[in-house]
């Protein structure tokens, strides 16, 4: 009896605002019911890959999901023509893991930043993102809308930064300013195996200073007062932000180590690269972040923050246009009525003058 009393006191203190049934009812199983319904329907994740050609975008997405999803969209020869504008290529895949279905859409952007003059090369990207918001809004406002609206909104942009010593280029800054306004952006340092550990550390510090200087809001956001997050989740997001950008290496090859272990990596004349070794790169941190801890939050943040902002602007503009049109119509009607009244008064005065004359 003495052992159960402290538990009852703790429970009473923590749940003082709630009424507890005297007997088991069973409504706590609603979480299992929701899980079964969602698992049956599956989840949708839309990922956009943005970065210059040759940074290993296709290889990284294949490595992230341990499946060959994308073939390289880059040029195989220097003699192949360069695309005049960035293309948008979407490939869809249905992945199954432990009875959970993931509808994965990979949005590649071949031709991005490949021109000598890359002015406004980001326009096709932001236009595509906004177009998906607009399509979703139209379906949502349709009188006979679908029961489950197909979600093509971009949930995450993986932005690939070239391994260098100076950080962001002027083009990177301009593109990131545009993208971070409309979508969740996760920056990565591509092909980080070309840097020493000291060079990688210095580059990450330079990039973090540039993110702060240019006020580039990377995902996860600093939502300290978001009531959806616990204090532990807020701290975890802070720890993730301190790691950005992730220094990654991608490889689809399976190799055998000297100890007989099979790992995903590459062999070079300088040694072996294990992409899942956290002492060599941060691929594991990126994978766990995108799939094991923040997958649902990426989808939810897109809906509650980016799409909601777009929706509010569109509906506000629509209401203002309707109001302006109604005001114009009322003014036209008022003007027509005043003209009719003046014409009637003119006709009356002319009639009276005619009668007086005769």
Q: Are strands 89-97 and 100-108 parallel, antiparallel or unpaired?
A: antiparallel
Residue 17 lies in a domain: no
**Structural domain that includes position 42:** 28-315
Residue 218 lies in a domain: yes
> Which letter does DSSP use for residue 183 in this model?
S
CA 289 distance to own-chain centroid: 14
Walk along the chain (358 residues) and give the pLDDT tens digit of each residue: 444 444 444 454 455 688 989 999 999 999 999 888 888 889 999 999 999 988 999 999 999 999 989 887 665 665 566 555 578 999 999 999 999 999 999 999 988 888 878 888 999 999 999 999 999 999 999 888 888 899 999 999 999 999 999 999 999 999 999 999 999 999 999 999 999 999 999 999 999 999 999 999 999 998 765 677 888 888 999 999 999 999 999 999 999 888 888 889 988 888 889 999 999 999 999 999 999 999 999 999 999 999 999 999 999 998 887 766 766 666 655 656 666 666 666 666 666 655 555 5
Cα angle 157, 160, 163; round to 5:
160
C-alpha dist (Å) from residue 110 to 51, 251, 285:
9, 20, 26
Residue 8 lies in a domain: no
Virtual torsion, Cα 289, 295, 300, 303, nearest 10 deg = 100
Residue 348 lies in a domain: no
Q: What are the start-end ranges of the E strands in the chain? A: 43-50, 89-97, 100-108, 156-161, 185-189, 246-247, 254-256, 262-268, 271-274
49 — phi, psi (to 5°)? -105, 120
pLDDT, residue 189, reads 97
Question: What is the domain-level CATH number for residue 111?
Answer: 3.40.50.300
Give Cβ neighbours of residue 51 (< 8 Å, ≥ 6 apart): 57, 112, 113, 158, 159, 160, 161, 162, 190
Query: How many C-alpha atoms does 273 have within 13 Å on its Cβ side?
Result: 22
Q: What's the structural domain count of the chain?
A: 1
pLDDT, residue 353, reads 59
Q: How far apart are the first and last CA of the chain?
A: 118
C-alpha dist (Å) from residue 356 to 343, 351, 352:
20, 9, 6
Residue 16 lies in a domain: no
Q: Is 246 helix (H, G, I), strand (E, B) or coil?
A: strand
Q: Is 235 left (phi over 0), alpha (psi -120 to 50) or beta?
A: alpha
Rg for the chain, CA atoms, rounded: 30
Residue 221 lies in a domain: yes
Residue pair 49/158 in contact (Cβ under 8 Å)? The answer is yes
Residue 63 lies in a domain: yes
Residue pair 245/172 in contact (Cβ under 8 Å)? The answer is no
Residue 357 lies in a domain: no
pLDDT, residue 79, reads 58
Residue pair 60/188 in contact (Cβ under 8 Å)? The answer is yes
Whole-angstrom distance, CA of residue 125 vs CA of residue 106 = 14
């Amino acid at each position: 009896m003495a052992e159960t009393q402290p538990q009852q006191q703790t429970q009473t203190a923590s749940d003082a605002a709630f009424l507890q049934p005297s007997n088991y009812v069973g409504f706590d199983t609603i979480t299992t019911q929701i899980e079964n319904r969602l698992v049956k329907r599956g989840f949708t994740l839309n990922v956009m890959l943005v970065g210059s050609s040759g940074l290993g975008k296709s290889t990284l997405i294949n490595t992230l999901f341990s499946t060959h999803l994308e073939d390289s969209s880059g040029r195989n020869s220097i003699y192949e023509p360069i695309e005049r504008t960035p293309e948008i290529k979407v490939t869809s895949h249905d992945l199954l893991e432990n009875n959970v279905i993931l509808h994965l859409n990979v949005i590649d952007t071949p031709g991005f930043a490949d021109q000598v003059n890359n002015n406004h090369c980001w326009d096709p990207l932001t236009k595509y993102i906004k177009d998906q918001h607009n399509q979703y809004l139209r379906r949502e406002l349709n009188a006979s809308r679908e029961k489950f609206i197909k979600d093509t909104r971009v949930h995450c942009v993986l932005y690939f930064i070239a391994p260098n010593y100076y950080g962001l280029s002027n083009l990177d800054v301009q593109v990131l300013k545009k993208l971070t306004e409309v979508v969740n952006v996760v920056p990565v340092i591509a092909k980080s195996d070309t840097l020493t550990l000291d060079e990688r550390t210095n580059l990450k510090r330079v990039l973090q200073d540039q993110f702060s200087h240019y006020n580039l809001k990377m995902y996860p956001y600093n939502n300290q007062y978001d009531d959806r997050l616990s204090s532990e989740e807020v701290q975890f997001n802070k720890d993730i932000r301190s790691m950005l950008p992730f220094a990654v290496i991608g490889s689809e090859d399976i190799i055998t180590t000297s100890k007989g272990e099979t790992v995903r990596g590459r062999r070079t004349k300088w040694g072996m690269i294990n992409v899942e070794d956290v002492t060599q790169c941060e691929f594991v941190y990126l994978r766990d972040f995108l799939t094991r801890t923040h997958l649902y939050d990426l989808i939810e943040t897109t809906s509650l923050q980016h799409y909601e902002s777009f929706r509010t602007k569109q509906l506000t503009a629509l209401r203002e246009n309707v109001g302006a049109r109604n005001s114009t119509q009322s003014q036209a009607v008022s003007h027509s009525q005043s003209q009719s009244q003046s014409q009637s008064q003119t006709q009356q005065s002319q009639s009276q003058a005619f009668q007086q004359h005769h």
